[in-house]
Structure 1
């Protein structure tokens, strides 16, 4: 029965396994029975605050049980949950609140100054310091609301790497089908201890780890922040079995002095996404005997598009896998590539919030979603992500895909992080400029020689800029627009 949409999942799980631990935060466990009760009380309070079907409720703050409760309470009412990036400024948050029309904003103490900086009419504000009191006034029984699979459950605002953020809408059905796809690709168990250390306002953490863990009755171990030592400690202390991370997180763990001796024996699988994964990084994890699975997706596809299952991972380093079970993907133009990835399936967004122009531009005439990402496909149907379409540049009439150059640069032992962009050149039109974070002593000439033996000359950057760090979005993607602006 679909009457409750995803909002009813914790209550349904509580009927089956009420005493299992659903959430673990700062060593405090919450059982599924407790979680279901708290969600019902919050739904009651939101109803009393005037939230009804189709209204928007926003949450601003790091990972916390209140985020999870707000997600499920909001969607159980047929209302729409709007998770906010807590790293944004007040004007950016204000734009999203205005664009979404949120009527309630629940916010964490760390974001109080941003909330104080909001101008003009705002949503009703609920500070996390007052949350328990506010929740305590709710009724034990949540209102019963009929929710359709095609009703919007979430609005997630894109990272804005290409301009002003747009609100990608995801329906209850989108999230359900993505959960099916994930569970087909990963053997998630009811005994799972899932480390949710990536921010939950990012679709991969929310839909690729939290939702599958809840539906299977596992434990979601939430952390408000991430650091290398803390991650190792949590894995060892709580016997973590599964986690998602972005490339930079996994690279930092592998570069730690603790890496060779860390107890990772409980870990059954690791999933990486959010950006292209250097093959050498995959091999580093495989040498530790760990199952390292890659996937490709984006916010608008809830997010899974392709996935590399565990049994395929050993011999397919660098592959983003094949299309997930309940979706199709192809290249435009057709063939082995490079071409833009197009996606069609029940996990694909119906469009952007109150933005029909952007919605129309995102789909082909026959209904395929344009991802803006470039890939190649081998004879076995495996996708390899080449780059963002917008990041490609043309040097002397030849297409250069920066991710290909970055992948080779990562093989140099003195390169910790790198990003390549195209910059204007009087002779060639554009040439490559590599921004490099060093982990050892290396100069531009040495890196140039290193690349010349591995890449065509026109692909080798002409300039090398050595920096302390790269600007990134919350999902781990490099903000190349900032690099272009400063170059």
Structure 2
């Protein structure tokens, strides 16, 4: 059987462009030969540890060469890569490890303590630390040096799972979205077509690779085309500006805050940006002030929409339509299609708001171990139900109108209120809670908790934040907690969050108006750590 998986990509690039620079990470540079050799050696290490086709392998670590090398090592074995968000709390990590059935874990040393409960709960005995390790426990780098490597060409098809990527769910438990080799191949091809990725591109990747956008629409298309990745562990605007000039960066992706911080930096006006050609922005709509700042430097943006379940690209808005179609998330990617349905599943005329449904070869096959959730996520004729509301204009451009799910996007990170509400409800004295997104000039939205409490009791912001700290990622913890006499509810007892957003968001946080874009919901920004410290 022919090897159709993404795990073969480095080896094929080694054959075609062995001496081309594949990856730059600080002072480290890897040619495609060196990059592929490293992936082969890690595959040999994993095979020695008993990892084979279909086995889930979790990875918890910051952006680094080891992340990408491990991805291609795992997938060339026909095993399944499970990237873990580095900002998750121990209980959330435990859920990912146990739910995925991970048989091995590769991790950066600093995450050992957070991983320990999950490793024990999942019964994982194959644990490899990145770096050198020590004599008692040799790390990945030392283990690689002991292996001769050689490409492990395990036959896989486009239908075989390649990655399990966990995405927050409205029920409070993260769901494992199974992305196949075909899903990741086709999302990469869509990027080549719609963003004109070429072999001479040099892409600066500053967003975490454990999110679908940075991986599926950043790293993978560049490697498929044989370009160069300049990979950063975290985002610093001054350093990013220096790297753009130093390496002649042609491609950059981020969320609006990324671009705002770059434009606000003292070095902005003096940095040579002449090589930049492709700017992609996700997480939320690009504000006019940012468009103005970049257009003043001769730069414009591609925007888009999607989610983990679509690997993640569904639509894209070309830079030359940014102004006349402002607020739109564009047209379906070349090999995708989008339609709008009413509550009965019937198609609606253009201009009419309904649920966005998506089809195409990069739409995932389903959620791991959740057949009922998977069934609900698809229509009878196989279209993915996004859970987002939108409409198509007369030209077929998609506009996001609102969300069926009350998801909050803060600094590009997805926050599902139900997960936070479930934990706040555990606090003694809390009788009701609603978590909403309130406009934040820098981060787009910040989560606030509106609570009711028993008579004679009080609940403070500090108390709620202390209760949540360590249970969920810090970006999900409400910035503010407000006690009210009662929560507005419908006749059926559901909280009217639109009323709360209007009341506490100064009107601007009312239900999202037509034309409010919600691009690539899986994109993120490393400076959310700075935001956490501020809160």
Q: TM-score with structure 2 length normalisation? A: 0.75
Moved more, 323-332 or 230-239: 230-239
Asked whether the 8 Å contact 1:418–1:434 carries over to 2, the reply is no
**What corresponds to 1:132 in structure 2?**
141
Q: Confirm whether residue 371 of structure 1 aligns to residue 386 of structure 2.
A: yes
Distance 1:72 1:20 in 2: 18
In the TM superposition, what are the counterparts of 1:85-484 in structure 2 within 5 Å? Answer: 85-118=85-118, 119-120=120-121, 121-129=123-131, 130-160=139-169, 163-333=172-342, 334-335=348-349, 336-391=351-406, 415-419=441-445, 424-425=487-488, 431-433=499-501, 475=524
In 2, the alpha carbon distance for the partners of 1:277 and 1:55 equals 40
The range that moved more, 357-366 or 254-263, is 254-263
SS at match of 1:390: coil
Verify the 8 A CA contact 2:281 2:302 in the aligned structure 1.
yes
1:20 deviates by: 0.6
Contact 1:159 1:473 survives alignment (8 Å): no
The residue matched to 1:102 in structure 2 has which SS?
Answer: coil
In the superposition, relative to structure 1, how do residues 89 and 195 fare at CA in structure 2: closer, same or farther (>3 Å)? same
Q: Structure 1 CA distance, aligned partners of 2:324 and 2:240?
A: 27
Mapping for residues 59-70 of structure 1, pairs under 5 Å: 59-70=59-70
Distance of 2:143 and 2:166 partners within structure 1: 27
Deviating 4+ runs (over 6 angstroms):
406-410, 420-423, 458-461
| C-alpha RMSD over aligned residues | 3.2
- Counterpart of 1:466 in structure 2 is none
Work out which structure has the larger RCO, using CA pairs closer than 8 Å and 6 or more positions apart in sequence: 2
Query: Would the alpha carbon gap of residues 68 and 416 (structure 1) be closer, same or farther in structure 2, given more than 3 Å must change?
Result: closer
Give SS of 1:42's match.
helix
Contact persistence 1:283–1:317 (CA under 8 A): no
How many residues get paired? 437
> Are 1:85 and 1:474, in contact at CA under 8 Å, matched by a contact in 2?
no
Distance 1:60 1:426 in 2: 41
Any idea what SS the aligned residue of 2:163 has? strand
Q: Is the 8 A contact 2:78 2:155 kept in 1?
A: yes
Cα pair 1:3 1:147 within 8 Å, conserved: yes
Q: Which runs of 5+ in 2 are unaligned?
A: 132-138, 343-347, 409-435, 451-486, 514-520, 529-535
- Secondary structure of the residue that 2:261 maps to in structure 1? helix
Normalised by the length of structure 1, the TM-score is 0.82
| Contact 1:54 1:79 survives alignment (8 Å) | yes
